């Protein structure tokens, strides 16, 4: 199980495979309890403050719920699209017939990742007058593809060659070898990539406020432009809580989706 070897071959090291054992029940409950505590503290602190009209415009249940919901939607849709694009692409790029174009494509994608999302978003807005939710999703997907793609490729390449040879030697078809051996055996590493993509997307989705796509970025930017520290803190804290919560959920999904016996 050396993903480092495969990582060296592609020139980029993918996210490491997570530890093998499922956590205990207390382990599972620790993170949600902590996050709930943070939210409670935040609520009590904000309630104890006298809000002026500008603060009250951002810090009310309706606008906060809207911002959080938009943020979750942005993250979910962009991650889903990322998976739909990156996993099949990763499969294609590990087949023998794409060996020739593999290095070029990887170079292009890696350069793509070096360009900051904010730049992509602004370019989309200015050059193509492409704004709003859909533009935001495009920006997020472009950025999150790389970790998922690389992890898919590394995951597929680290599968023990003798397992595949045994499978082929027993008369499992090429497609069967992919779906029944290669993909299940690379699930842990692919999932690690998906988790990375999710976390990246939660974070970067705060930037999409600049192209009018909503999200928790709205709250933070509102606080910044009106110079209201309390609003900034609430926006930033909620973003952090959401990111940690999504990472936690992804971690649970990893624990349960990993094939037994690995």
Partner 1 sequence: MTSTTVNNRSTGKVMIRLENLTKRFPGQKHNAVDNLTLDIYEGEIVVLVGPSGCGKTTTMKMINRIIEPTSGRIILDGEDVTTTDPDALRRRIGYVIQQVGLFPHLTIGENIATVPKLLGWDSKRVSARVDELLEMVNLAPESYRNRYPKQLSGGQKQRVGVARALGADPDVMLMDEPFGAIDPITRDRLQNEFLRLQSEVRKTIVFVTHDIDEAIKMGDRIAILQDASKIAQYDTPEQILTAPANDFVSDFIGNGASLKRLNLSHVSDIELTQWPTVQLGTDHNQALDMLRRSDRSALLVLDESGRPRRWVGADDLHRGAGRPLDEIGLPAGAMVEPRATLSDALNELITARYSVTIVVDAKGIYQGVVDIEQINEAIRGMRSSAVARARAGLAEGAEAGSTGGQP
Residue ranges in contact with partner 1 by CB under 8 A? 160, 162-173, 181, 184-185, 259-262
Report the 3 state secondary structure along 128-180.
HCCCHHHHHHHHHHHHHHHHHHHHHHHHHHCCCHHHHHHHHHCCCCHHHHHHH
**Nearer residue to partner 1 within complex by CB, 61 or 260:** 260
Query: Is 184 or 251 the residue whose CB approaches partner 1 more closely?
Result: 184
Q: How far is the CB of 185 from partner 1 (least distance, A)?
A: 6
Q: Which two tokens stand for residue 244?
A: 């940690």
CB 195 within 8 A of CB 258: no
CB of 162 to partner 1, least distance (A): 4
Within 8 A by CB and 6+ apart from 230, the residues are 46, 49, 51, 55, 59, 223
Instruction: Specify the long-range contacts of residues 8-13, CB closer than 8 Å, at least 24 apart.
Output: 9/157, 10/106, 10/150, 10/153, 10/154, 10/157, 11/106, 12/106, 12/110, 12/150
Nearest CB to partner 1, comparing residues 108 and 261? 261
- Other beta carbons less than 10 A from residue 180's beta carbon: 13
Whole-angstrom CA distances from 66 to 9, 195, 241 are: 45, 24, 16
Tell me whether residue 166 or residue 224 sits nearer to partner 1 (CB atom): 166
Residue 219: count of CB within 10 angstroms of its CB: 27
21 vs 47 by CB, closer to partner 1: 21
Closer residue to partner 1, CB minimum distance, 87 or 246: 87
CB of 188 to partner 1, least distance (A): 10
In whole angstroms, the minimum distance from the beta carbon of 14 to partner 1 comes to 20
CB atoms < 10 A from the CB of 2, how many?
A: 8
Query: Using the 8-state DSSP alphabet, how is residue 210 labeled?
Result: G
């Amino acid at each position: 199980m050396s993903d480092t070897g495969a990582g060296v071959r592609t020139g980029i090291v993918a996210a490491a495979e997570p530890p093998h054992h499922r956590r205990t029940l207390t382990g599972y409950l620790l993170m949600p309890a902590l996050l709930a505590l943070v939210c409670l503290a935040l609520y009590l602190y904000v309630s104890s403050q006298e809000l002026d009209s500008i603060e009250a415009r951002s810090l009310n249940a309706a606008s906060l719920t809207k911002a959080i919901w938009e943020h979750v939607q942005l993250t979910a849709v962009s991650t889903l699209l990322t998976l739909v694009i990156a996993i099949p692409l990763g499969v294609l790029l590990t087949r023998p017939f794409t060996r020739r174009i593999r290095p070029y494509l990887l170079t292009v994608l890696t350069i793509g990742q070096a360009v900051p999302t904010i730049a992509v978003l602004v370019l989309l807005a200015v050059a193509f007058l492409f704004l709003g939710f859909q533009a935001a999703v495009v920006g997020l997907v472009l950025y999150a593809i790389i970790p998922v793609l690389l992890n898919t490729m590394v995951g597929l390449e680290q599968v023990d060659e003798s397992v595949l040879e045994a499978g082929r030697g027993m008369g499992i078809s090429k497609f069967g070898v992919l779906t029944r051996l290669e993909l299940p055996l690379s699930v842990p590493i692919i999932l690690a990539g998906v988790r990375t993509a999710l976390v990246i997307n939660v974070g970067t989705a705060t930037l999409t406020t600049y192209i009018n796509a909503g999200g928790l970025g709205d709250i933070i930017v509102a606080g910044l432009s009106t110079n209201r520290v309390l609003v900034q803190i609430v926006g930033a804290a909620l973003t952090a809580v959401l990111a940690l919560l999504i990472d936690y959920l992804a971690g649970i999904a990893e624990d349960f989706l990993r094939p037994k016996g690995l």
